[in-house]
């Protein structure tokens, strides 16, 4: 039995409305004729979500409910570490071998100079869609530029902070079960605005060894300099260590599966001396809906995240009374069956859940604890609740703001913290591709005013060389003043 359900048994907090097949009983098991099957029986996968009432849960049970499934990285590290080491030792040859092994593609050349590649041919409608997305993403990230900040703390003591781009960055664009050219835009555009000189985009090759034409179009438009035709841990390793054909990068960005994530974690703590954007996990959405929300839209929003993969995290929070759960159930069933990726969606829903909140305050309190990657607020007067939101990667307010717009073209970035990391991380932004330096400059008068305080503090800490670096200068200033007086 599910560990969360075991916790709930002692309080009988599991909700089991007999009239709704949307909810799975703690004792139910998959049965083609079960009333708890939504009818989305793709390869015998069950579309069902457990349900709980927040007011009946203890703090410990709520903590358990917000926890994500644990990933056993110990076994994954055992697989990834040899790949990381092999790519370090053998470079291009290792990447070619792993690409042949995992992607079944034999490559003569793993890196392409983007400037040397011909422009890909796209249908006019597809090109226009990516152009609109590019313009919106560019505008939003350009607006994130901040003016140089400079202040004079004391007379003659000036401090400022200046931004500098990271010189070389690696961008990972997954292939796997779906090609994601939108991710190329989300990662390359802020790098372009920041002024990163070397931008390496890694993406698995097609079966003929070519680069996905939509990814190539986005890469060329957004200023990518090199494309590494590889995926998985081998691609991350090649960018981190550098190879004969792949430039070494200083920071690696982008979502990926557990092997990609493991490689990023290993390499950021290695001699490769790289940093990464953020920890990554399966895609997530938390939808808060009230009685004014369309059941059709609620179902579509839940499924839009569930279709990413069977490990996607999908949560529905029902705020208040009067929500038509029966219609939501029917819509999920109908829409799930018609999706080409319905099997993924059904598996994701089978380990997802619904919670009932008494009101929006309780709903948002749970959401802030859960800290979702995507948070949809589909309630009446959604905008008034924005100030109550503390933890979320990206927020979608109101009935006409599906999560899909942020995934593609509203302008915000879709590379976001998952697994609850929205409590301490933000999504990718222009700042992600920059680092900030502080600069200070003192005049003689400034050091004369500030120096004695610094010397006193250095003496307290027992750092005499620090003290002397100040006092020797103060002596020079004093001697100069005496000389000028004579």
- Active-site amino acid positions: 373-374
Looking at residue 315, the DSSP 8-state letter turns out to be E
DSSP code per residue over 13-77: -B---TT-TTBPPTT----TT-TT--S--GGG----BEEEEGGG--HHHHHHHHPPPPP-HHHHH
What's the chain's Rg over C-alpha atoms? 27
What is the C-alpha to C-alpha distance for residues 471 and 140, in angstroms, rounded to an integer? 49
Sign of CA dihedral 119, 124, 126, 131: positive
C-beta separation of 222 from 189 below 8 A: yes
CB atoms within 10 A of CB 158: 16
Both tokens of 481, joined, read 């003043």
C-beta separation of 49 from 23 below 8 A: yes
- Give me the long-range contacts of 411-415 (CB less than 8 A, separation at least 24): 411/136, 411/137, 411/139, 411/140, 411/141, 412/140, 413/137, 413/141, 413/186, 413/190, 414/182, 414/183, 414/186, 415/183, 415/186, 415/187, 415/253, 415/254, 415/255, 415/277
């Amino acid at each position: 039995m599910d560990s969360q359900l075991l916790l709930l048994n002692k309080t009988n907090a599991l909700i089991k409305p007999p009239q709704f097949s949307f909810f799975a009983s703690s004792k139910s098991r998959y049965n083609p004729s079960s009333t708890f099957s939504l009818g989305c029986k793709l390869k015998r996968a069950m579309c069902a979500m457990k349900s709980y009432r927040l007011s009946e849960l203890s703090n410990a049970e709520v903590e358990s409910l917000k926890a994500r499934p644990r990933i056993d990285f110990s076994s994954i590290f055992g697989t990834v570490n040899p790949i990381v080491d092999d790519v370090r030792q053998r470079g291009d040859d290792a990447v070619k071998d792993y690409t042949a092994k995992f992607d079944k593609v034999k490559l003569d050349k793993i890196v392409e100079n983007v400037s040397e590649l011909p422009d890909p041919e796209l249908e006019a409608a597809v090109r226009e869609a990516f152009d609109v997305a590019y313009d919106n993403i560019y505008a939003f990230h350009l607006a994130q530029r901040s003016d140089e900040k400079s202040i004079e703390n004391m007379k003659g003591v000036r401090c400022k902070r200046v931004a500098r781009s990271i010189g070389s960055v690696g961008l990972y664009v997954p292939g796997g079960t779906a090609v994601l050219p939108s991710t190329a835009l989300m990662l390359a555009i802020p790098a372009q605005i920041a002024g990163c000189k070397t931008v390496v985009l890694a993406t698995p090759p097609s079966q003929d060894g070519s680069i996905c034409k939509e990814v190539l179009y986005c890469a060329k438009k957004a200023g990518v300099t090199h494309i590494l035709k590889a995926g998985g841990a081998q691609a991350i390793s090649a960018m981190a260590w550098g190879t004969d054909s792949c430039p070494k990068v200083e920071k690696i960005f982008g979502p990926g599966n557990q092997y990609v994530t493991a490689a990023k974690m290993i390499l950021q703590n290695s001699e490769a001396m790289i940093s990464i954007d953020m920890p990554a996990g399966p895609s997530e959405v938390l939808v808060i809906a009230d009685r004014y929300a369309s059941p059709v839209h609620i179902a579509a929003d839940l499924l839009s995240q569930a279709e990413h993969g069977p490990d996607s995290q999908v949560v529905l929070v029902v705020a208040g009374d009067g929500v038509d759960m029966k219609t939501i159930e029917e819509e999920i069933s109908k829409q799930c069956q018609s999706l080409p990726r319905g099997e993924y969606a059904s598996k994701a829903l089978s380990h997802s859940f619904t919670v009932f909140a008494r009101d929006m305050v309780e709903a948002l309190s749970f959401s802030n604890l859960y800290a979702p990657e995507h948070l949809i607020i589909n309630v009446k007067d959604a905008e008034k609740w924005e100030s109550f939101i503390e933890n979320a990667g990206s927020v979608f307010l109101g009935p006409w703001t599906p999560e899909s717009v942020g995934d593609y073209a509203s302008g915000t970035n879709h590379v976001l913290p998952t697994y609850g990391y929205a409590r301490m991380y933000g999504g990718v932004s222009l700042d992600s591709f920059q680092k900030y330096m502080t600069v200070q400059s003192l005049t003689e008068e400034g050091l004369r005013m500030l120096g004695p305080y610094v010397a006193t503090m250095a003496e307290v800490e027992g750092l005499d060389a620090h003290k002397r670096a100040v006092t020797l200068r103060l002596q020079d200033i004093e001697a100069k003043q005496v000389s000028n007086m004579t």
